[in-house]
Structure 1
Amino acid sequence: MHHFARLIFVTALLAAPAWSKEAKHEYTAEEAQIYANMRALQEQVGEGKRAFIEEQLALTPEQAVKFWPVYDAHQAGIASLNKRRLDNILAYARDWNTDTLDDAAADKLAREALDIERDEAALMERSYRKLKHAVPALKAVRYLQVESKVRAIVRFEQAAEVPLAM
């Protein structure tokens, strides 16, 4: 369970805002506690990430006024995708751990994972289009680079923790 908890930690780190909405699935007490811990952690980490982005982009006051609303919308989109991804991972883990992962469930989980990937790419594209009208393209690209690095770290941890289906 240690690896599973770490996977949830990494996945959830950026997703907490989406968890304030009602879930479609009844979570176990352990899962609910993990979500609660992640919401608390996200509140602490959120400002640090924002400060890091601010430092990396060195926005002028005029650019900042235009950038931060796009950033906030992008983060809300990422949080929603992270929530979907975490729900999908939890469903996979439940089926895997109870030895109930069959072809139909595996296909459904795979389709959801692919949908999330497509939706994430579309979000990045939409955000870039908005960003390049808010700030110079070089700064928009720099933001996407920083965001992509954060996403890559999260994805690496996810891949390392999810068991291979046999």
Structure 2
Amino acid sequence: MIRFLSVLMLGLALLAPAASAQAVDAHQKMAAFKAEVAQGKQAYVSRQLALDSAEQAAFWPVYDKMQEALAELAQRRRDNAAAYAALVGDAADADDAEDIAEEAVAIEMDQAELFERAFKDLSRDLGPRQALAYVQVEARLATLLRYEVAASLP
């Protein structure tokens, strides 16, 4: 038993630096991604997709419509995080906690539906590969927003 615990403790001690390095690496990657996007989301998307002029004519109207919906979702996500943060220090009312959880899930579902709609719309005009590329770009950008919101939580 003592031997097992010793081996376990040694294993955990060896894993700690690796876990710490992974956390630092993930933080560095997120910071690099944030810097890459800092020049402007539209410029970032344009660089990622490298659309020709005919594709751009079909893409940008869908993009603009998507951005309006994403802005609403981003605000809902921030409001939801603020509501959660307000509950953390207080004795949380079960109804309030349930409402916050339901809204968090609804935001995720609405975003998934939005991505699905954008994929379908863009697939018709640009083809599935370019549509997928755009949805993946937006998914990475959504991850950045989630990261920033999560970092602001207690």
State the match for 1:112 in structure 2. Answer: 103
State the match for 2:149 in structure 1. Answer: 158
What is the alpha-carbon distance in structure 1 between the residues aligned to residue 41 and residue 147 of structure 2? 19
What is the alpha-carbon distance in structure 2 between the residues aligned to residue 86 and residue 161 of structure 1? 10
Q: SS of the counterpart of 1:106?
A: helix
The amino acid that maps onto 1:149 is R
The amino acid that maps onto 2:145 is V
Report if aligned partners of 1:92, 1:101 keep a CA contact under 8 Å in 2. no
Q: TM-score, normalised by structure 2?
A: 0.69
Identity of aligned residues (%): 41
State the number of aligned residues. Answer: 118
Query: Aligned-pair RMSD on alpha carbons?
Result: 1.9
Structure 2, unmatched stretches of 5+, are 1-36
**Which of 32, 37, 42 pairs up with 1:50?**
42
State the match for 1:92 in structure 2. Answer: 84
Q: Give the structure with the larger helix fraction.
A: 2
State the match for 2:55 in structure 1. Answer: 63
Residue 49 of structure 1: CA displacement?
Answer: 1.2
Residue 154 of structure 1: CA displacement?
Answer: 2.1
Bigger CA radius of gyration:
2
Cα gap change, 1:57/1:145 in structure 2, threshold over 3 Å: closer, same or farther?
same
Residue 161 of structure 1: CA displacement?
Answer: 3.8
Q: TM-score, normalised by structure 1?
A: 0.64
2:99 aligned with 1:127, yes or no?
no
Structure 1, unmatched stretches of 5+, are 1-44
